[in-house]
Amino acid sequence: MFEPTGCSYGAAATPSTRVSTPTWASVPECPRTLAPTRYVDNVSSVDEPIALEAYDEAWPEQFVTEAARLTDGLADTVVAVEHIGSTAVAGLAAKPIIDVMVGVTDLSATERLAHRLGQLGYEDCGGSDNRRYFRKRGEEPYYNVQVIEHASPTWNSNVLFRTFLRSDPHAAKRYAKTKRAAAEEAPTLLAYSELKRHAIEELLRLARADA
């Protein structure tokens, strides 16, 4: 496991990578100025059109490159950096956006980190009571960052879900079918994510039973 300056990158069969239930994506503007630490009750500001693409073998390396950049830019602010979402699962179709999970020890003290992410080209999209969202668009590849308390239930569920999909081809195939159906029915991120919610909960239940 590669651990520069205290940040861990989840190991996998592909170059360093560790999943989250996507709640993302990019059309409306995100706030560009930082207010005192606060979290919004919803993430409607990050809704955007979505389209699935076939798995791209460049995705793991794109994560590795950005993770190193984040580690260097955030220094001692973070505990771990993980590759999450469908781009972290070899062979799985996904939105062509690399999802990154940044672990911190105290989610209520993320303003300095938010400022640093802004300097790295990320927009602050607010968040909820257990995570905060950032995104980087402009030139491809695109990135989403979720700042989450390290080793929290949310963090652990994201890692477990990704690991389960990597290790169980049947589960990955089942999830891929759900994703295709959701993408056909819902052209925007939040509706797409909601359509997948039940399947994700069921797969997480199976993952926990298998752990």
Task: Assess whether pLDDT exceeds 90 at residue 70.
Answer: yes
Strand partners, 102: 81, 147
Write the DSSP string, 163-194: HHHHH-HHHHHHHHHHHHHHHHH--BHHHHHH
Query: What is the gyration radius of the CA atoms in the chain, in angstroms?
Result: 16
Query: Has residue 35 got a pLDDT over 50?
Result: no
Task: Tell me whether the omega of the peptide bond preceding residue 141 falls within 30 degrees of 0, making it cis.
Answer: yes
Q: Are 142 and 136 in contact (CB under 8 A)?
A: yes
Residue 142, strand partner residues: 97
Whole-angstrom Cα distance, residue 46 to residue 25?
6
Comparing C-alpha atoms, which of 1, 10, 22, 32 is closest to residue 143? 22
Q: Span 193-211, mean pLDDT?
A: 96
Please compute the mean of the pLDDT values over residues 52-73 and round it to a whole number.
97
Q: Where are the domains of the chain?
A: 4-210
**Mean pLDDT, the chain, as a whole number?**
82
Q: How far is CA 52 from CA 145, 153, 189, in A?
A: 19, 28, 11
The answer on pLDDT for 176 being more than 90 is yes
Structure tokens at 181: 């159906």
Q: How confident is the model at residue 123 (pLDDT cuts 50, 70, 90)?
A: very high
Segment (H or E) for 209 = helix 189-210
Domain topology for 4-210: Beta Polymerase; domain 2 (3.30.460)
**Percent of the residues in the chain that have a pLDDT greater than 90, as a whole number:** 63
pLDDT at 183 over 60: yes
Distance CA 126, CA 156 (A): 21
Element (H, E) at 97: strand 97-104
Query: Which of 37-51, 93-107, 133-147 shows the lowest mean pLDDT across its residues?
Result: 37-51
Using DSSP's 3-state secondary structure scheme, residue 134 falls into strand
For the purposes of burial, counting CB atoms within 10 Å of the CB of 108, is it exposed (0-12), middle (13-18) or buried (19 or more)? exposed
Give the pLDDT score at 88: 98
Task: Take residue 19 and report the two structure tokens written for it.
Answer: 């999943």
Question: Does residue 39 surpass a pLDDT of 50?
Answer: no
